[in-house]
Amino acid sequence: MKKVLSLICIIVVLSCKKDSSSKSSNIETDETPSDKIYKDKELEAALYEGFFVTNNTGFDIAIKNNMMYLLKTNASETDKSTNFFLDVIPQNGPLQNFDLSTSEIAFNDSLSSNYSNVAIYRIALPKVSGEYEIIIGQYDNSGRLWTSRIRSNMLDQNINNYKNEYVKNTITNRYLKEFELALKQGYFMLQPTGYDLLVNKNLIYFIKPIQVGVDLDARFYLHIKFDNTEEKMILDFNGRDYTVNQLLGQKYENFTVIRKVIPVEKRIIEIGAGQFNNKGRTWGVVYDLERLYDNITYLYDNQYRDFLGTK
């Protein structure tokens, strides 16, 4: 009887270990893709929202939230094996310098395959109070191979911006995914004059599929009505400040696309949109979105197929 009980206990223990191992394996498998999605978003936030500057001889640089990303297309084996140096020079304080091997700052393994054709490294910058200068580059036994200098007051000037320089080296980007998702599931309104409209949740696009009749001089306006409130949001803006067609790649290279985010999460039930100048409105429309629900007339059905560029 004791032998039987011992055998049962061994079987139970082995079964528990197998189940535990299976659960552990599942956890690792489940976490990996979500972790990569998070790192992609982190990089894209730096590219689209942070400081970005290209470098003809070395690596391009993106900076956001004290994190620096070094990026290069068609990187050689020498590029991928040559050490980086980083000098951080405070206006008031001691110099901080770092010698960084490419293996310790490599970042591609933390990203999805979307960035497999771009060599990417990430460096956590030291926190410095006051003004400072960053000097970054690579060196070998002969000396420094390339150098970039960045002053801290340049980081918040909104002058050095990413303009989709890696569109030919990546599969997609967040602006393209967001725009094509809106085409699939949003309200789409063709206009005989002015711009076509695309509304998806709190995103509104003004679209011209060809570079004819494009007017970016007249200001745009939006009158937004939300569910369960009589209050309206009234906005007007310069369309040039919100154009994103250059971020959508070759497929939409002939388009003018203006993207405006409505800064609330309330459900939009009515939208008035158009343009105006000092003589009045040049065009305008009003749509009751609740009346458009399930109306296939206001769904995108590949109306732009004849205007699309190379995919």
- Written as one letter, the residue type at 208 is K
Domain range holding 277? 174-298
pLDDT of residue 182: 96
Q: What is the DSSP string of the chain?
A: -HHHHHHHHHHHHHHHHHHHHHHHHHHHHHHHHHHHHHHHHHHHHHHHHSEEE--SSS-EEEEETTEEEEEEET--HHHHHSPEEEEEEESSS--EEEEE-HHHHB-GGGS-GGGTTEEEEEEEPPP-SS-EEEEEEEEETTEEEEEEEEEGGGTTSS-S----TTTTTSS--HHHHHHHHHHHHSEEE--SSS-EEEEETTEEEEEESSSSS---SSEEEEEEEETT---EEEEEE-GGGGB-GGGS-GGGTT-EEEEEE-SS-SPEEEEEEEEEETTEEEEEEEEEHHHHTT-GGGS--STTTTT----
Per-residue pLDDT band at 98 (split at 50, 70, 90): very high
As a whole number, mean pLDDT of residues 76-86 equals: 97
Domain boundary among 171, 191, 206: 171
Q: Quick check: is 11 in a domain?
A: no
Residue 265 belongs to a domain: yes
Of 172 and 200, the one with more pLDDT: 200
**Is residue 205 in a domain?**
yes
Q: Tokens at residue 64, please?
A: 């956001």
- For the stretch 100-117, pLDDT in tens is 999 999 999 999 999 999
* Residue 115: closest CA among 60, 160, 192: 60
Is 271's pLDDT higher than 90?
A: yes
Total structural domains in the chain? 2
Q: Look at residue 27 in the predicted model and tell me its pLDDT.
A: 31
Does one domain contain both 94 and 216? no
With respect to residue 198, please indicate whether it lies within any of the assigned structural domains.
Answer: yes
Q: Strand pairing partners for 288? A: 270
Unique residue bearing structure tokens 């709190």 = 202
Residue 52 reports pLDDT greater than 90: yes
Whether 121 and 28 share a structural domain: yes
Structure tokens at 136: 């970054």
Q: For residues 222 and 275, is the Cβ–Cβ distance under 8 A?
A: no
Beta bridge partners of 272: 223, 286
Task: Tell whether 200 is covered by a domain.
Answer: yes
143 and 195 share a domain?
Answer: no
Q: Are residues 219 and 236 in the same domain?
A: yes
Beta bridge partners of 72: 119
Q: How many other CB atoms sit within 10 Å of the CB of residue 205?
A: 22
Last residue of a domain, one of 171, 202, 218: 171
Place of tokens 């110099």: 95
Same-domain check for residues 159 and 235 = no
pLDDT range class, residue 309, cuts 50, 70, 90: confident
Cβ-contact 59, 53 below 8 angstroms: no
Contact 282, 213 (CB under 8 A): no
Q: Do 68 and 162 have their domain in common?
A: yes
**Contact residues for 182 (Cβ-Cβ < 8 A; gap 6+):** 198, 199, 200, 203, 205
Structure pTM?
A: 0.66
For residue 45, how many other CB atoms are within 10 A of its CB? 15
Give the domain-ending residue among 125, 145, 171.
171
